[in-house]
């Protein structure tokens, strides 16, 4: 019996279909997120936006390249009984996927620390979050993430080896479980614990600040640092990253537990199902952006309208960035002959003239 005979043909087909679907949704959604954030002048004024752009940007290669390749590998396994890609090619693409996933996780941690500074020390936050410094932070984040995985592809710590039973690459266990445990701690557990501590500390600080603000409101209307903490906690970036972090942990923990304890032999169907759940994190960021942030919804609407305008599917009206998050502009001015204006604007002009 081959290592991969534990997976039925139907199970491999469902996994391949899920991989292709996640690739389509993730590529289109993350690309829209990057373009919308880059084009929005309102969101670009926020120093956290560079990190917010980095979140979907690092997932684009995974969704556009990695997921279709994994789906093709499942189909090859279903049709021919083995993966036809070379072992070297497979390990390279898994290394790319692990490295970019690491960048995504570290970006979440960096944004959590970003909001932690904004809540705890607003003045220090403004000093540290300057454009040149933000670029340096992102460069160091990418470098550290790559150093956690690229050396493994070159043979360090036993190297990454493709395991047909798991249908994925993993560290070689021949050198013991201690090294693998340390690697799991630094790649996953440490960022998760760090992000959790940032949000727990912020929650305690904001809860205290709200209580003190209510007590102070009965005596004076003077604002202080506690008001700044509450305002930063209510910021859409803080809430967005918290939701993304919780989704990411929910998708990763079951997959990580089964992988570490080697339960895929006894539960092959559950293992491939957990693959699909794990991959959901690659397309969840844009959905969270749209759901939580009204500023991002406005940026997406503007980007979509510009795209339709370029494709000549919309009218010649200029795209607008107005939404519930922005103040409404003044009423349109109509002068002279307004017969070409829409009906509701013509009635508005007629009523104004009659009142005059």
Tell me: the pLDDT tens digits for 14-52?
A: 999 999 999 999 999 999 999 988 888 877 777 788 998
- Distance (Å) of CA 16 to CA 28, 64, 341: 19, 15, 52
Rounded to the nearest integer, the mean pLDDT of the chain is: 79
How large is the greatest C-alpha to C-alpha distance in the chain, in angstroms? 91
- Distance (Å) of CA 153 to CA 99, 144, 185, 255: 11, 15, 18, 21
Percent of the chain whose predicted confidence (pLDDT) is above 70: 77
Using the structure block, give the residue that is written with the tokens 């032999």: 265
- Position 63 confidence tier, pLDDT thresholds 50, 70, 90: very high
Tell me, letter by letter, the H, E, C secondary structure of 43-79.
HHCCCCHHHHHHHHHHHHHHHHHHHHHHHHHHHHHHH
DSSP state letters, 104-169: HHHHHHHHHHHHHHHHH-HHHHHHH--HHHHHHHHHHHHHHHHHTTHHHHTTGGG-EEEETTTTEE
Structure tokens, 77: 């396994």
- Residue 228 has a CB neighbour count (10 Å cut-off) of 18
Summarize pLDDT for 147-171 with one digit per residue, the tens.
999 988 887 766 788 888 778 888 7
245/192 Cα distance (integer angstroms): 8
Contact yes or no for 241/248 (Cβ under 8 A):
no
Summarize pLDDT for 219-265 with one digit per residue, the tens.
554 445 444 544 554 567 788 888 889 998 998 888 888 877 777 77
- Position 176 confidence tier, pLDDT thresholds 50, 70, 90: low
Is residue 69's pLDDT more than 50? yes
Span 192-218, mean pLDDT?
A: 77
Model pTM greater than 0.75? yes
- Most confident of the ranges 175-179, 262-266, 272-276, 290-294: 272-276
- Position 355 confidence tier, pLDDT thresholds 50, 70, 90: very low
Residue ranges of domains in the chain, CATH in brackets: 3-310 (1.20.1070.10)
């Amino acid at each position: 019996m081959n290592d991969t005979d534990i997976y039925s043909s139907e199970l491999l087909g469902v996994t391949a279909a899920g991989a292709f679907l996640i690739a389509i949704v993730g590529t289109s959604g993350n690309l829209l997120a990057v373009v919308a954030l880059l084009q929005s002048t309102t969101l670009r004024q926020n120093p956290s936006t560079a990190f917010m752009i980095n979140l979907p940007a690092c997932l684009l290669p995974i969704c556009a390249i990695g997921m279709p390749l994994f789906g093709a590998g499942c189909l090859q396994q279903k049709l021919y009984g083995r993966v036809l890609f070379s072992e070297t090619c497979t390990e390279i693409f898994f290394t790319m996927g692990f490295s970019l996933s690491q960048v995504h996780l570290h970006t979440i941690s960096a944004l959590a620390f970003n909001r932690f500074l904004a809540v705890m020390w607003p003045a220090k936050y403004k000093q540290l979050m300057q454009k040149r410094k933000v670029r340096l932070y992102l460069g160091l984040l990418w470098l550290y993430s790559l150093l956690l995985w690229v050396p493994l592809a070159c043979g360090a710590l036993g190297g990454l080896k493709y395991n047909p039973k798991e249908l994925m690459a993993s560290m070689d266990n021949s050198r013991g479980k201690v090294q693998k445990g340390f690697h799991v701690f630094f790649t996953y557990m440490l960022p998760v614990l760090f992000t959790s501590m940032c949000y727990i500390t912020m929650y305690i600080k904001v809860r205290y600040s709200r209580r003190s603000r209510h007590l102070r409101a009965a005596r004076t209307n003077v604002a202080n640092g506690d008001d700044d903490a509450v305002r930063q906690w209510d910021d859409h970036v803080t809430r967005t990253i918290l939701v993304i972090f919780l989704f990411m942990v929910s998708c990763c923990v079951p997959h990580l537990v089964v992988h570490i304890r080697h339960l895929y032999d006894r539960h092959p169907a559950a293992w491939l199902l957990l693959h699909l759940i794990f991959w959901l994190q690659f397309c969840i960021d844009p959905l969270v952006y749209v759901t939580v942030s009204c500023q991002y919804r406005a940026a997406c609407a503007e980007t979509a309208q510009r795209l339709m305008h370029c494709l000549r599917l919309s009218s010649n009206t200029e795209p607008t960035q107005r939404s519930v998050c922005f103040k409404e502009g003044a009423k349109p001015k109509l002068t002279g002959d307004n017969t070409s204006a829409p009906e509701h604007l013509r009635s508005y002009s007629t009523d104004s003239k009659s009142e005059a």
